[in-house]
A and B are shown apart, each in its own frame.
Chain A
Amino acid sequence: MSAPVSPGLRSGSLPLLVALMTLLGGLSLAGLTGVQTLAEGWAGAARNATTIEIPSDTPQLEDRTRTLIQTLHKTPDVTTVRELSPQQVQTLLAPWLGQISDSGHLPGLSLPVVLIIAHTGTPDLGKIVHETLPEAVVEEDRRWGERLNGLGISLVACAWLAVSLIAAIAILSVGMTVRRSVMAQRKAVEIVHFLGAGDMMISSRIAGRAALLSLAGGLTGLFFLSPVITMLARKLAPFSRDAGPIALPATTWQSMLVSEWNTLHVLPHLLLEELGALPLIAACLGWLTAQTVVLVWLRRLP
């Protein structure tokens, strides 16, 4: 241990505070990533999809629908053309029409043919569809995409606000803890100051200890965060494109760790990197806050 030239920091509740903040920050980051992914997914899906409804009373419905589907398949930028089955249409309309009987028909009401077109770019589908089937209703989902995009941006902004608030509370908590510690050791700090210790000499020692305690708190927070994140990853795994076969229950610690690690891989890599960096960010914040608080306090002395 280096020779003391200035009082250190009394730890108090600093590691516990930082652990809690890391836990909250990690959860907020996970939430932020989830919201971002969802918003991007919604906006992307809506932007690149068009719904076509063909009324059931259209003459030569089946043949003309086939022709339209073939024309759409040949259209540049169209990636898929999917015709919904009557059951799928019923499910889609259930919120408005209620559950339909097993026969699949509503009394006095016949269901339209519904086509879902996925595409890239902005092909003029309205024109193409109306040339073949003027009776069809083309509903471009772009407007919905814009609305969803707006909603997504608002949700992401809220999540960022939550993360920023947690960071601000963490900085305030560290600042108050450091200030309390300095006040508790005011006499010792004044002694070393009046014996000729420089401001940076005093603040660096306190800030170094604050960084170390914050790092310990951050690692503790991350330790308690990992089961929550693993659980989230497990819930997300079935929806992941990279999801492999369902793992068998682990029987040894090693296989359990490998299994957990593989589960975590379904999460966005950026989120894993951000979570991994949390203890380091906590240490940096602790160091910076302590330096600032001590240096400001020392300015009161001549």
Chain B
Amino acid sequence: MIRLLNVSMMPPDVGQPVLRNLTLTVPQGEFRWLLGASGAGKSSLLRLLTLETRPSAGQMDLLGVSISQASRTTLRNLRRRIGFVPQDYRLIGEWTVFDNVALPLRLRGASERDTRREAFAVLEWLDVAHLADKRPGTLSGGEQQRAAIARALIGRPEVLLADEPTNALEDAQARRLLATFQELVEMGTTVIVATHNEALIRETPAASIILQDGTLAGTDIQDGIAALRSNKA
């Protein structure tokens, strides 16, 4: 479960809060769209939820752990239970696709045999198994995105966060990915997906977190779509 109570976030280099008094709850095993115009605070919220930063104020609980008081070791163990698909993929350029994808399992101490089996299963599912020995820099944007998705999915995380995970994918691949997210939700994973893809949102209606100027503007999907349209206009 994810629970935020009056959470604010003010990065030291920005000088003003990017999230303000945010209060929301996402029960375990549910799906949420994360919607809002550019600069509304979506990336900041994802940074909080991936534990890249701590809230400046307020109370944040993630998978039953209070983040404000958590030790470095607790945060480290918590990060291993979270999958994240960043918008910029964040693959390690010096490593092969396989090593990038295998990293979360290796960090959890899985055997090399299991790691190999699971990594290739997820890479095959995403049609990038043939690129396992390539370095990310030699791949197209879509291929890198699929490698980043594979890294997030491997080991079935308890919380899956995705920032524009379909922007470099073809429609069919995007739909397939969404179907996988739904399967994970059915297995108990909490999934939050930030996107601007209106068609995809319409095809998969779900409760939303709609942000506006760093505050929660609503949860109704229609409001979210309206916010996306006003942003485009």
Contact = CB atoms under 8 A, between A and B. Distances in A.
Interface in A256-301: none
Contact of B79 (A7, A187, A195, A199): A195
B53 A302 contact: yes
A242 B54 CA distance: 70
A7 B94 contact: yes
B102 interface: yes
A197 interface: yes
Nearest to B80: A196
B77 A196 contact: yes
A3 B106 contact: yes
B107 A196 contact: yes
Interface string B54-89: 100000000000000000110111111000100000
A49 to B, nearest CB: 67
Given A4-B95, A302-B53, A191 B90 contact: yes
Given A3-B102, A4-B99, A7-B92, A195 B107 contact: yes
Contacts of A5: 103, 106-107
B50 interface: yes
A24 interface: no
Contacts of B104: 195-196
Contacts of B54: 302
B90 A187 contact: yes
Interface residues of A, number: 16
13 contacts: A4-B99, A5-B103, A5-B106, A5-B107, A188-B93, A192-B107, A194-B51, A194-B52, A195-B79, A196-B80, A196-B107, A197-B107, A302-B72
B186 interface: no
Contacts of B108: 196
Contacts of B90: 187, 191
Interface in A178-213: 187-188, 191-192, 194-199, 201
B66 to A, nearest CB: 14
A176 to B, nearest CB: 22
A302 B54 CA distance: 7
* Most interface-central of A196, A199, A302 (chain B CB within 10 A): A196
A195 B50 CA distance: 9
Contacts of A198: 73, 76
Contacts, number: 55
A158 B104 CA distance: 53
A199 B72 contact: yes
Nearest to B50: A194
A194 B90 CA distance: 11
B112 interface: yes
Given A188-B92, A194-B52, A196-B107, A3 B80 contact: no
Interface string B90-122: 111111000100111011100010010000000
Contacts of B95: 4
Contacts of A187: 90, 92
A46 to B, nearest CB: 62
A192 B94 CA distance: 13
A70 B151 CA distance: 96
A3 B52 CA distance: 25
A188 B94 contact: yes
B80 A195 contact: yes
B120 to A, nearest CB: 15
Contacts of B72: 199, 302
A302 B106 contact: no
A3 B107 contact: no
Given A5-B103, A196-B79, A191 B50 contact: no
Interface string A221-258: 00000000000000000000000000000000000000
Contacts of A197: 76, 107
A192 B75 CA distance: 13
Nearest to B77: A196
B76 A196 contact: yes
B112 A3 contact: yes
B112 A302 contact: no
Contacts of B79: 194-196
A201 B106 CA distance: 11
B91 to A, nearest CB: 8
A191 B92 contact: yes
B203 to A, nearest CB: 30
Contacts of B107: 5, 192, 195-197, 201
Interface in A130-180: none
Given A188-B94, A195-B151, 9 more contacts: A3-B112, A5-B106, A5-B107, A7-B92, A192-B107, A195-B107, A196-B107, A197-B107, A302-B51
